[in-house]
Amino acid sequence: MFSKSPGPIGIFDSGYGGLTILHGIRQQLPEYDYLYLGDNARAPYGPRSFDVVYEFTRQAVRFLFERGCQLVILGCNTASAKALRSIQQKDLPQWDADRRVLGIIRPTAEIIGSLTKSRHVGILATEGTIKSESYNLEIKKLHPDIEVTGVACPFWVPLVEYNEADSPGADYFVKKNLDQLMRIDPQIDAIILGCTHYPLLMPKILKYIHPGIRVIPQGEYVASALTDYLHRHTDLEARCSKGGTAHYLTTENADTFRQQAQLFLHEPVEAEKIILG
Ligand code: DGL
């Protein structure tokens, strides 16, 4: 149904957050072509139901396949938690069993074992990701001795999406959720930022967290996991085109995307508006 010729690596997010993943990946794997898709018109996904996140993510992955991607990374924890498995099990075999869709929770869960000494880990994420329990399940599978505590931060994504990450409002919400997490488990020594938007709030997070606690954004670890994956899957690797380019698609206004994306990438980008559904 889809073409077999080499295409860009697709990166999908509900909005801008996946740009932190794209940035991390491009630093380690600059030689590939990338096609980013932000479903900005329908973000945030965090409070949406399982069925809706699955349907929206499915549409986005299909679109990226139609644009020639052989491999798509869900650069969104909410989509990884709620849609990845269904897409891998139900849709891929029907669409094209040779293509791949990967999530970002597993690589983060893998690395956490080496980043905590106290074996008490905190997860900050959207309501959808926390409720799905995906982090708890993945971490427990790999590191049964680690105690996992998750707190949903429903205001953090809107703060980032609406360019309020540096505002006093951000101070209030960041401190509130960090205090909440540390009150539940004061032994936590490593916190996973389990939402790809959250690295944009890093200056505020570091302001309110004890300096001994490690705060872990995902970009670097997802990039290392992808590097390793491509080494192990040479067939698929050969179907990822190598021109060093990045293109951006959004379901919202292209000019707005262009301006906002600069906050994440620190470089000008062009964007194309598309329609999903
Ligand atoms: N960036 C997405 C994540 O990693 C969530 C943002 C949203 O709620 O849409 O979970």
Determine whether the shortest distance from the Cβ of 15 to ligand 1 is under 6 A.
yes
Determine whether the shortest distance from the Cβ of 108 to ligand 1 is under 6 A.
no
Determine whether the shortest distance from the Cβ of 13 to ligand 1 is under 6 A.
yes
Mutate which of 126, 130, 260 for ligand 1 pocket (most atoms within 8 A of beta carbon): 126
Cα-to-centroid distance, 16 and ligand 1 (Å): 9
Q: Which ligand 1 atom minimizes the distance to the CA of 44? A: 9
pLDDT at residue 1, rounded to an integer: 63
Nearest CA to 196 out of 52, 36, 71 is that of 36
Cα-to-centroid distance, 18 and ligand 1 (Å): 8
pLDDT at residue 162, rounded to an integer: 86
Q: Which ligand 1 atom minimizes the distance to the CA of 48? A: 8
pLDDT at residue 250, rounded to an integer: 98
| Domain 106-217 listed as CATH 3.40.50.620 | no
Q: Is the peptide bond before 154 cis (omega within 30 degrees of 0)?
A: no
Determine whether the shortest distance from the Cβ of 83 to ligand 1 is under 6 A.
no
pLDDT at residue 9, rounded to an integer: 98
pLDDT at residue 3, rounded to an integer: 79
Q: Which ligand 1 atom minimizes the distance to the CA of 195? A: 4
76 is catalytic: yes
Cα-to-centroid distance, 47 and ligand 1 (Å): 9
Cα-to-centroid distance, 1 and ligand 1 (Å): 30
Render each residue's pLDDT in the chain as its tens digit; 277 residues: 677 899 999 999 999 999 999 999 999 999 999 999 999 999 999 999 999 999 999 999 999 999 999 999 999 999 999 999 999 999 999 999 999 999 999 999 999 999 999 999 999 999 999 999 999 999 999 999 999 999 999 999 999 988 899 999 999 999 999 999 999 999 999 999 999 999 999 999 999 999 999 999 999 999 999 999 999 999 999 999 999 999 999 999 999 999 999 888 988 999 999 999 8
Cα-to-centroid distance, 152 and ligand 1 (Å): 11
Q: What are the structural domain ranges in the chain? A: 9-104+220-273, 106-217
Determine whether the shortest distance from the Cβ of 196 to ligand 1 is under 6 A.
yes
| Domain 9-104+220-273 listed as CATH 3.40.190.10 | no
Backbone conformation region of residue 103, classed left if phi is above 0, alpha if psi is from -120 to 50, else beta: beta
- Cβ(69)–Cβ(60) below 8 Å: no
Q: Which ligand 1 atom minimizes the distance to the CA of 46? A: 8
Catalytic residue among 69, 153, 195, 240: 195
Nearest CA to 86 out of 53, 49, 54 is that of 54
Nearest CA to 53 out of 160, 156, 131 is that of 131
User: What does pTM read for this prediction?
Assistant: 0.95
Determine whether the shortest distance from the Cβ of 44 to ligand 1 is under 6 A.
yes
240 is catalytic: no
**Residue with CA closest to ligand 1 atom 6:** 44
Residues in Cβ contact with 45 at an 8 Å cutoff, skipping those fewer than 6 apart: 14, 39, 52, 53, 56, 76, 78, 79, 82, 126, 128
Identical fold, 9-104+220-273 and 106-217:
yes
Residues in Cβ contact with 220 at an 8 Å cutoff, skipping those fewer than 6 apart: 24, 27, 28
